[in-house]
Amino acid sequence: MTVTDPGDLDIDHIVPLAEAARSGARRWPEERRRAFANDPDVLVAVTATSNRQKGDQDPAEWLPDRDRCGYVARWVRIKHTYGLTADQAEADTIRSVLRRCR
């Protein structure tokens, strides 16, 4: 898909802020939460429609139509980098997706 109107794009957090909070960021000092929220490795330009569909869901609840392997790999890298946890459904989905990426 090619987007020609910048108004059709949002900047999204790969790991949504609410999901990060549920996964351990709630205990972080304000400075670390701000760093996470503004980290270019956590941010991606997406269509506004896609951003609305995803909301604050983790991979057990939402996956992109394209490049699921890349998305999940980036999700795992971000969660690992920031020491965030994953619930069982999220971990199971991640394993399932990554098994198909080989």
Closest of 66, 4, 50 to residue 16, by C-alpha: 50
Listed in sequence order, the residues at least 6 apart from 15 whose beta carbon sits closer than 8 Å to its beta carbon are 23, 42, 75, 78, 79, 82, 84
Contact status, residue 45 vs residue 10, Cβ threshold 8 Å: yes
How many Cβ atoms sit within 10 Å of the Cβ of residue 94?
19
pTM for this model (two decimals): 0.91
Q: Could you say which DSSP state residue 14 is in?
A: S
Return the SS3 of 9.
strand
Q: Over 90: is that where the pLDDT of 1 sits?
A: no
User: Which tens digit of pLDDT belongs to each residue from 14-73?
Assistant: 999 999 999 999 999 999 999 999 999 999 999 888 899 999 999 999 999 999 999 999
Q: Over 80: is that where the pLDDT of 102 sits?
A: no
pLDDT at 13: 97
pLDDT at 80: 98
